[in-house]
A and B are shown apart, each in its own frame.
Chain A
């Protein structure tokens, strides 16, 4: 799980162009949206693409997103349970 969390942090930094952020700057339990990393709605869409492209996960129910994208840790748990690649 630790490796997956690190991978996700690196992928988030890359796809969201968080140039001044390093993996160690991201608290795996901190909110991705609002107070935490301060991501916006376009970032959320980019994370959905990331899940499909890198892990073969298609999010068909948008209401799931709020729970899955709470933090890097919740993303990692969902990826670990549902990945197809």
Chain B
């Protein structure tokens, strides 16, 4: 089960995220939990793999908004970086330096729920 402590340990800025949720811990954690199953993660992976930069941008852009609101910083940072690289790109751009960072952060995030 994800807790505030675990998130803090993980590197999320829970103070910032909680503030957006009127300091309501339960509500914040509920939203964080829904992120575990957010389909945009899968969409991003698929798009990067298929070299579809437009779809990759859409997924990364959507994640940037939600991860930002919940302040899940470890995944947010590489997602923001990728969003900017995908933006206005005609063809798939090189994200080999940040993509593994994103995958790693996502894996650790999902592990928090176990």
Same complex for A and B? Answer no
